[in-house]
Amino acid sequence: MKKIAVLPGDGIGPEIVAATRTVLELKRLTADGLRLEIAEAPVGGAGYAAAGDPLPPATLELARGADAILFGAVGGPKYDALPRPKRPEQALLRLRKELGLFANLRPATLYPELAAASTLKPEVVSGMDILIVRELTGDIYFGQPRGIRTTEAGEREGFDTMRYTEGEIRRIAHTAFGAARRRAKRLCSVDKANVLETSQLWREVVTAVGREYPDVELTHMYVDNAAMQLLRAPKQFDVIVTGNMFGDILSDEASMLTGSIGMLPSASLDSRGKGLYEPIHGSAPDIAGKGVANPLATILSAAMLLRYSLGEAAAADRVERAVRKVLAQGLRTADIAAPGEAKVATSVMGAAVVAALG
């Protein structure tokens, strides 16, 4: 039996996670009756309120012992004044570090029914289905040395160091090729190899790893061009793999192309496929407690959990098809409703997905 740690967190977290549990707990998700051992623990502001720590030791232990983690969202105005180590978002940073979650997978999928939500023309984005694989633990965000010093001329100078070891590049490349293999088998590696030494090594290592995946078509693109191509013709991409900083920027750009923050899931994986799955949005304090939040990003995160950590690809496909079906049926939470369209509550959307699973 697989163990799932469920960490609802703050704001809309408990609402969207409750709706998602009704999907994940369905035995009929798999042909042989999916059986999961699901346990919940407080995290973020809720962790601080319960145990004085955004990531209480018992929550970390539960996450360590689980095969996968479903995470809601953390944060809220009442925690904003806490000292940094007690802030809700520390829970996520510490979980990533403690569990060695180095690969961030962010799909940017645009459902044809929601094409009008994008700021781009519907024909440019309708049917877009991109997966961005971002390295999460290295690069200029963590490289040493870094700091602010005073030069000999007496002027202050800020500096950071972009670094990647071969091993770090190799493991994210394997994750990305593996993901591409499960999709349309096209991988675009994004770098800045015309300017940066780090990127030259990145390109060399990704190319070498690619020889182990002859069934996946590998291309390379400079990051400035990738930023343009995402706006010009996003449907050309299947999977994109890139470093931490370029991935930070491109994954936000790609997700905004969909125009629907309540629809986008994500995964952060370790080298053995264990992962933390969460919607890309935050705890939405402005709508918390009203029962109106869109649970689909979290339900789609559970689909990724089934695919990447439990190896249940068929069940993941079924959940994703059920989400498409409820959109086709016209169900809309407030965030994805067009003006004048009827809006449904979080629990109604969750129940509709369960019903659409058949």
- Listed residue (98, 1, 96) closest to 310, CA to CA: 1
Minimum separation from the CB atom of position 106 to ligand NAD (A): 12
**283 scored as a contact of ligand NAD (CB under 6 A):** yes
**Contacts with ligand NAD, 6-25, as mask; x by CB under 6 A:** ------x---x---------
Nearest CB to ligand NAD, comparing residues 89 and 160: 89
**255 scored as a contact of ligand NAD (CB under 6 A):** no
Q: Give me the residues paired with residue 278 across strands.
A: 266
Nearest CB to ligand NAD, comparing residues 79 and 246: 79
Minimum separation from the CB atom of position 264 to ligand NAD (A): 9
**Which residues in the 113-152 window bind ligand NAD by CB under 6 A?**
none
Is 80 known to be catalytic? no
Q: What is the secondary structure of 158-171 as a DSSP string?
A: EE------HHHHHH
What letter represents residue 94's amino acid? Answer: R
Tell me the three state secondary structure of residue 225.
Answer: helix
Residue 46 has, within 13 A of its CA and on its CB side, a CA count of 18
Q: Dihedrals φ, ψ of 275, to 5°? A: -150, 160
- Listed residue (146, 187, 150) closest to 163, CA to CA: 146
62, 103, 293, 326: residue in contact with ligand NAD (rule CB under 6 A): 293
Tell me the three state secondary structure of residue 297.
Answer: helix
Nearest CB to ligand NAD, comparing residues 226 and 257: 257
CA–CA distances in Å: residue 67 to residues 56, 277, 305: 19, 11, 10
Number of other residues whose CB lies within 10 A of the CB of residue 252: 13
Minimum separation from the CB atom of position 45 to ligand NAD (A): 8
**294 scored as a contact of ligand NAD (CB under 6 A):** yes
**261 scored as a contact of ligand NAD (CB under 6 A):** yes
Stretch that binds ligand NAD, among 129-137, 184-192, 243-251, 290-298 (CB under 6 A): 290-298
Stretch that binds ligand NAD, among 98-106, 202-210, 227-235, 292-300 (CB under 6 A): 292-300
* Helix, strand, coil share of the chain (percent; to 5): 45, 20, 35
Number of other residues whose CB lies within 10 A of the CB of residue 181: 14
Structure tokens at 77: 């105005």
Is 97 known to be catalytic? no
Is 79 known to be catalytic? no
Minimum separation from the CB atom of position 171 to ligand NAD (A): 23
Nearest CB to ligand NAD, comparing residues 162 and 288: 288
Is 224 known to be catalytic? yes
What letter represents residue 192's amino acid? Answer: K
Burial class (CB in 10 A: 0-12, 13-18, 19+), 218: buried
Looking at 2, 3, 141, 270, which residue is catalytic? 141
Is 191 known to be catalytic? no
24, 117, 245, 284: residue in contact with ligand NAD (rule CB under 6 A): 284
Q: Give me the residues paired with residue 7 across strands.
A: 71
**210 scored as a contact of ligand NAD (CB under 6 A):** no
Q: Greatest CA separation found in the chain?
A: 72
Residues in contact with ligand NAD by CB under 6 A are 12, 16, 73-76, 89, 92, 261-262, 278, 281-287, 293-294, 297, 333, 335
Residues identified as active-site:
141, 192, 224, 248, 252
